[in-house]
Structure 1
Amino acid sequence: MIAVTDATVRFGGTPVLDRVSLRVRDGRLTYLLGRNGAGKSTLLRTACGILRPTSGTVAIDGTDPRRLGRPAASIGVHLGADAAGSPTGPNPNHTGRRHLRWLSVAGGFDDARVTTVLRRVGLADAADRRVADYSLGMRQRLGIAAALLPDPPNLIFDEPVNGLDIDGIRWLRTLLRGLAADGRAVVIASHLFDEVTRTGDDIVVLERGRIVADRPVAEFVSGHDDLESAYLDLIRPTEPAGAGR
């Protein structure tokens, strides 16, 4: 389980996250929704230990991520194909296989996992091509492979659908549901409501650095036509009396 408790993150004195608490439970696929700039990426980086909260705590299966001997074995992280500061970002001049082998050696993981994850993400036939020659969708798959390499019980993905074609999106749906079915705690930042409805168990909505909703998908949508209308009703500012007249 991934647990963030009363976390505040400030950049230059400005709070980006304000007393945020999040629980990503084992066997559940949790989607993190919010406008651009709401703090989603900051929350994911805080949840995995890349960012240290100004106040509050973070725990991965009960342990502060800074105290984990091999963090990647406890939490796999993919922050996007071209994300700055990603702990698993590849050298573009390396092949996909070489990148994963480097991560395997650095982390002390079983080298046989390299072949396993390349097959699982559909990159076995492209494993010996340079990453610089990969499409965006292929780089997404490589980042997911890197997160899965140690076979961790917790996973964080930031917009993993970006760059995937329709076949890739269908593959990702199956992968994500399978990871949750295996008992892993999985949290994903996304803007794609259809994917949330199709695959999600829980929804967390972040608005201006605060969590304004945290509930199962079915409960969140209940009483609305669809997820989009439920989300917009939640975050749409209340119009002052007389507005629009």
Structure 2
Amino acid sequence: MAENRTAIFYAGDRVLLRRALAEAAGTTCVDTPAAAGLAVVDAGSLNQEDLRLQVAAIDPALPRVVLSPRAAELAPAGTFPAVQAQAEAAALAGAVDTVVLRCALLGQDLVRACVHGTVEGTLYSTCEPAGTAWLDAADLAELIAVLAADPARRGGRAYEVTGPEVLGVPAAIALLAGIAEAPRRHVYLPEEAYLHALRRAGIDSPAGERLGHHLAWGSAKARRSVSPVLERALGRAGRPPSAYLSAAWHAYQSESAAARG
């Protein structure tokens, strides 16, 4: 293992975030909590059942960074964002050394939606057209490396983390124009209409339903403000989607192909 790189155990299912943590200058990823110097618990994950099992295996003494959607604690009871807020609370329970990053939607979340929700060139999603301040997974990984190296920045604190600017969904998918399978248009569907469309199409996808809820919550007007936390911590502005979205598409396709074997 390279010197001065913190070994991270990533608990969650956002494959491009795990990849970013493995590739960041200050961190690397390991497969077990016992081999780690820090745990990253991603309460923004779609597979909450697996997440609970992963969290149960983490020693309470292991420092941990908990990621969750912005303002998930305000979500109505019974909704998926409320489940994500409960996952944040469970990840913090009994832990000795923690910090919470309440994050804007990742640009990589939009890529995931594009890959799975595009039909004949049209992306059907619950993401509001005005979009959000998309956060780059690589920037988030770099911030986690900063927190790993400096325990004084943790201490039970909570930070809101976003990308540098708000970008609408049509403008974001236009950045994928050079990719044949990428969407050319975006059709916004409210959550109920989106779920109804899945059922009418005979699609039984808990992950698809949860991604719909995740995108709807994260793109709501109340969660579009830009936070200065990332820029202050890194000493530079976060990367806009134009700097990484196309590469994220290819990386997600690569990770998906590897998972299929």
TM-score by length of 1: 0.28
Of the two, which has the highest radius of gyration? 1
Taking structure 2 as the reference length, what is the TM-score of the superposition?
A: 0.26
Larger relative contact order (Cα-Cα within 8 Å, sequence gap ≥ 6): 1
Greater helix percent: which structure?
Answer: 2
